[in-house]
Structure 1
């Protein structure tokens, strides 16, 4: 993630789990809000999580041969040099198999009362179960 620009780092939530992601998007997002987190099952992959009520849709981003792409999920596979380029492409394109990516859930914009405590709690609970 260190190779990506600030827009991506601000929506990258690291090792939070799918339940924590759903709570974040339900509490602070709306339809089209999205964030990026580490995949819980595939090492080195990310999950692009998008809210479209009543669900949070998750798309796995994998890296292969120097390019990033969305794995499976009915989305046509296009390859990009960076995660940022991939996300920007899907923000501009209307893809039938994916909810619109309208608003990044910027972690620096979350209320302080929730932000740090929430991440500390989630990181500790996810590391204690492994």
Structure 2
């Protein structure tokens, strides 16, 4: 789904929402859940998802566990700067683009999106 096809209210909210001036390990849990809850309150379909980074291309060795918000086929991430200062402060991107760039920024072999009650979406190693 192209970015312009996501609900305009979701785009506006994610790109203008308040976020902490600094982020550290673990902040993603509260930030993702808060963003998901707020979007749902606005009537926008969203869900908190796990983002898993893998050290090896076979996805056996865990590099990191992270939380973000899925909005359709896009990921909104307000705390990715905990991994790298070049990560967007308010990151909204298609799943594939998000996983590819996050994999590069964190220097892991692969990354996976796990929807809590659904499928797994994995980046190409």
TM range (shorter): 0.3 to 0.5
Which has a greater percent of strand?
Answer: 2
* TM-score normalized with structure 1 length: 0.32
* TM-score normalized with structure 2 length: 0.33
